[in-house]
Amino acid sequence: GGLMKKIYLILALLLLTVFTYAETSGENGFQMLRIVTGADLAAQGGTGSLYSRSAFGFLQNAAANLITRNQVISMTQNYWIFDTKLNSMAYSNGKGKTSFSIAYRYLDYGKIDNRDEVGTIIGEFHPLDLSLSVNFAYRINPDHYVGITANGIYEKIDTSSSLGASFDLGYIYLTNVKNLKLTAALKHLGKTSKMNAEEIDLPVTAEFSLADDFQINSVILFSEIKAVKYFDDDRLRAVAGVGIRPVEKLDLRLGYKFNYDSEDISFGIGVNLNKINIDYTYIPFKYEINDVHMVGINYIF
C-alpha cells in the first residue's frame, strides 16, 4: 500500500545519503561513539540489540528499545584498551507504540604526560570524551519501527576541545518469515566545533543486519549478522553474534568481527536474577594491545 511505498522511499533516500556522503578531509574525532556500549552487546560484537535486557540497545539501532520493551536502568564499566575507562549509564522505557531512552557515556583516558620538544615532562593532561543521548522510537505499524537519537558530544585533549551534536537513525522491519528481522542504521551524522582550527569528522557509520531467534526444547538462541560500513575507509566489515539462553537465569554470548583491525572474537556471560541482570564480557585484542573487560548491571522495573 501507500505506507509501504513511503517506507521504501525513505529507505532509498537514506541509502542515497549514505552513498553520496562526501569524503571529507578533517581530523577523525569522537571515535568513542563507535565503542559498543552495553556488556551484553559488546560480547556479541555489537549485535543482539533486539534481544537485549539492557537499556543500551538504542545506541546500536535507534529503534531497538521499542522491540525489547523494557523499563530498565543499565550501567556498564568498560576497562578499555591502553588503560582507558568507559563509564556508561542508560534508562529506557518502552511502551509498545513508543519508547524513550536516555544515556550518558564518559571515556576517561587517564592522565597523560605532557612533554616539550626534547621530551622533558612539563605537566600532564587528562583527555576525555563525553556524550549525552536522548532517543525516541515509534512503531509505524506492527511490522515497521523507526527511531532517532540525538547526541550532545564533547571531546577535550590537553587545552583544546570540541563540542557538537550528532544524530542516529534506526529502522527495523519484522519480516513475515518466523521471527526474522531486518534492520538498518545510519549513525553519527552531525557537526562539531573545530579543534585547534581543524575540522573534526564524525565517525559516520551505516549498518544493515538480519536478526533471528529460535527455541530448541527449552534452549533459546538469538543470532544476528550485520554488515558495517565506516565512511572514513573503503573496507566492508561484518559482525556475527550469537546468544544462548540454556536456562532463564543464564546467558552465554559469542561474537566475531570480520575485517576489523585489532579485534575479532568476543565472549560474554550474563546472570539473570529476577529484576537484576549482571553481565561480564571479555574481548581479546590483537598486537599486544591489552584485552578489554566489561561489567554491566541492569535493573528491570
Q: Which residue has the higher pLDDT, 102 or 234?
A: 102
pLDDT digits 0-9 by tens, 111-142: 767 777 777 777 776 778 899 999 999 999 99
Residue 163 in this model has a pLDDT that exceeds 80: yes
- At residue 59, the pLDDT reads 96
Half-sphere exposure of 134 (CA within 13 A, CB side): 3
Closest CA to 60 of 77, 84, 85, 35: 35
Chain center to CA of 219: 27
DSSP-derived 3-state class of residue 141: strand
- At residue 22, the pLDDT reads 43
pLDDT digits 0-9 by tens, 21-41: 444 445 677 877 888 999 999
pLDDT digits 0-9 by tens, 189-216: 998 888 887 888 888 999 999 999 999 9
- At residue 200, the pLDDT reads 83
Cell of 168: 542516529
* CA–CA distance, 251 with 40 (Å, rounded to integer): 9
- At residue 211, the pLDDT reads 97
- At residue 17, the pLDDT reads 55
* CA–CA distance, 287 with 46 (Å, rounded to integer): 21
44 near 241, Cβ under 8 Å? Answer: yes
Q: Would you kindly state where each structural domain of the chain is located, as residue ranges?
A: 2-300
DSSP-derived 3-state class of residue 14: helix
Q: What is the mean pLDDT of the chain?
A: 88
Instruction: Tell me the CATH class for 2-300.
Output: mainly beta
89 near 72, Cβ under 8 Å? Answer: no
pLDDT digits 0-9 by tens, 42-78: 999 999 999 999 999 999 999 999 988 889 999 999 8
For residue 32, give the DSSP letter. G
